[in-house]
Amino acid sequence: MSGVTQLATPKGRLRFVYEALQTGTSFTALAATATKPTDGVVAGVGLDSTFGGTEAGPAANVGKLVLLGTGAEDATMAFRLSGYQQEGRTNLWIPQSLVQGVATLGAATVTYAGLTLRFADEIVLSTGMGLEGSSSVQVIAAGTDLFASVLCDLLDYQLLVVQVHRNGSATSVNAAFSAF
């Protein structure tokens, strides 16, 4: 087709962040570290835009986070998406919270590994790089007991890390992530 330009952006698939459901009740504090983070790492943006892979390709620009958990409908869970950059002289990995909030589990479910997981259908942001609806962070809320998601500008981070915890209400939690 003449006059049509196809953008070279990665087509990310949603994938679970953790192999096992998480049952913790708090986040690990964000702090600069000499050790490259490994827990909850979902993408090496700009270095490797394939979630968990080693293929080179165009860097991802946007991350999509879908939250799931076990427990009753209306149980809550907490989440945080952080970006890390490695400082050149000291090689410290320096974190920045991109978005953090609380999600409420809804009626929509999926069966995975013999467990019934509920999708979060409401998401409320508590902190982040921008306010909800800004160009940095956007909550896509279904509001119909389907599922909600968070879209976040990935800026110029070399690693992305997702953390989830039960928030005292959900029984166990996980997240699915894709970058595109």
pLDDT digits (tens, 9 = 90+) for 100-128: 999 999 999 999 888 999 999 999 888 76
pTM: 0.83
Quote the tokens at residue 174: 């996980």
Ranges of residues in the chain whose predicted pLDDT is under 50: 1, 5-9, 45-55, 131-133
pLDDT at residue 55 in the model? 43
* Pick from 36, 71, 44, 9: nearest CA to 177: 44
DSSP calls for 83-129:
EEEE-TTT--EEEEEEEEEEEEEEEEEEEETTEEEEEEEEEEEEEES
Say if CB 153 and CB 179 are below 8 A apart.
Answer: no
pLDDT at residue 135 in the model? 54
